Structure 1
């Protein structure tokens, strides 16, 4: 992997020691040159650069102005096909607010009276268009369900092969719900749940209401 500004996870990824070892090893197995990978909640680009190094075409989606600027600097240091989209993703296009000053922990604000940075919001269906994505990573600090609700067409047409989803308790704070509604939404579209081991191999599991580690959702027929 090429160079990167010293921004936490990106720097460690540069030296082949990715911050999310199991998950990134899974993408090393799953992605092939020419695949489309969408990094939702890219922050400074650890996953985007990892996928780009694998030869994938990448859309790196990051709404925060400070993080997006660092992301652009990291992308500029590498000769990878990465497009930076400075916006949030949710269930519908529009404008929302994003907290500021929390670095990678910034999140959408649903109460319009709360302070934060006003951002543009689009849907994953609009970003994807009629394309197929080999992989989509969604790490948006509890708003993962909103992102998936804005991807109903792509999910129903099974044009997203594999998703990586944050599965912690953040959704309780933002949406007053566990991850159960996310699991139900994906199951309606035929997706099954898996978790990677240290070699990046995916193993089936029954998703818990929440978990400290990310889960993968796999489209029907992805593994035969």
Structure 2
């Protein structure tokens, strides 16, 4: 993000509405401290979890500034999951969602992160939160078939599978299907953030998507699928065929609102709306930045 874009994001963030000055101060403080001491730092994430943050982690630092970087989706996870549930984090990055699921809620997680250097940071967050017995981490990519792919390594939260010629640092990694990974496992919640490779992940997840235990999916539909020759709408239509419908979530009111139109942004898809609404309504309160959701 550019400086102006970042400042606008911080000012409009739902957890910063009444605390813009404090949020901007955290941003400025981090910009200074990360340059003076450019080492990993352990920060409180929620009252039950911690997150390792270091210079260059655009997603993780968003949590430091605001409490929850992707507020609506992360809050949905916190309110939906319970101890003993299974959450699958496809494109886990350094583990923000994984830490919330297994560190705060104490659900079980299968976390999948392809980039080796990012995977190492994910493992560090698993260790610092003492979640090793609840998190199974895999250093692979997911797609429509097993094999080997090239994956970028220097783009932080936007690392992705490379198809054809691309001027970026890459590494060769193994790729498998979600159905193979989840054989004999039944997740309740699935998060997919794979920088445009969603179509291939969904193609390799037919049995997973048919499993009635899967109640909801958080998926990033930001138009990047076009780099792989797929219209973004195709992913939306594929999820509709499995019975999932798109919603937005208001964490303060614990209310879901059905999306009237399809858009290029993170979206929550729900199949069992009654189950999900009951979970949200009965969720424990979560304390963040001296606020309650």
**TM-score for the superposition, normalised by structure 2:** 0.70
Match of 2:224 among 170, 175, 182: 170
The 8 Å contact of residues 195 and 214 in structure 1, kept in 2 or not, is answered as no
Q: What is the DSSP-based 3-state SS (H/G/I as helix, E as strand, rest coil) of the residue aligned with 1:215?
A: strand
The 8 Å contact of residues 158 and 195 in structure 2, kept in 1 or not, is answered as yes
Correspondence list, 1:190-201, <5 A: 190-199=243-252, 201=255
The 8 Å contact of residues 194 and 216 in structure 1, kept in 2 or not, is answered as yes
* Unmatched tracts of structure 2, length 5 or more: 1-47, 278-293
How many residues were matched structurally? 220
Aligned to 1:145: 199
The 8 Å contact of residues 199 and 230 in structure 2, kept in 1 or not, is answered as no
Find out whether 1:35 has 2:88 as its counterpart. Answer: no
Find out whether 1:71 has 2:122 as its counterpart. Answer: yes
Q: What is the DSSP-based 3-state SS (H/G/I as helix, E as strand, rest coil) of the residue aligned with 1:166?
A: strand
Aligned to 2:178: 124
- Sort the Cα spacing of 1:172 and 1:15 in 2 relative to 1 into closer, same or farther, 3 A: closer
Q: Which moved more, 1:198-207 or 1:39-48?
A: 198-207
Aligned-residue RMSD, C-alpha: 2.1
Q: What is the DSSP-based 3-state SS (H/G/I as helix, E as strand, rest coil) of the residue aligned with 2:215?
A: strand
> Can you list the C-alpha shifts for 1:100-141, whole angstroms capped at 9, x where unaligned?
211111111122x55621111111111111321111110000
The 8 Å contact of residues 60 and 82 in structure 1, kept in 2 or not, is answered as yes
Distance 2:50 2:128 in 1: 6
Match of 2:270 among 193, 212, 218: 218
Aligned to 1:101: 154
Shift of residue 14 of structure 1?
Answer: 7.2
Match of 1:181 among 234, 237, 242: 234
**Larger RCO, structures 1/2 (Cα 8 Å, 6+ apart):** 1
Q: What is the DSSP-based 3-state SS (H/G/I as helix, E as strand, rest coil) of the residue aligned with 2:98?
A: helix
**Structure number with larger C-alpha Rg:** 2
The list of structure 1 runs, each at least 4 consecutive aligned residues, that deviate by more than 3 angstroms after superposition, is 7-16, 220-224
- Sort the Cα spacing of 1:98 and 1:184 in 2 relative to 1 into closer, same or farther, 3 A: same
Shift of residue 150 of structure 1?
Answer: 0.7
Distance 1:140 1:190 in 2: 22
Aligned to 2:7: none
Aligned to 2:139: 86
Shift of residue 206 of structure 1?
Answer: 3.6
Q: Which moved more, 1:124-133 or 1:56-65?
A: 124-133
Aligned to 1:24: 74
* Unmatched tracts of structure 1, length 5 or more: none
Shift of residue 31 of structure 1?
Answer: 0.4
Q: If each structure's helix is expressed as a fraction of its own residues, which one has the higher value?
A: 2
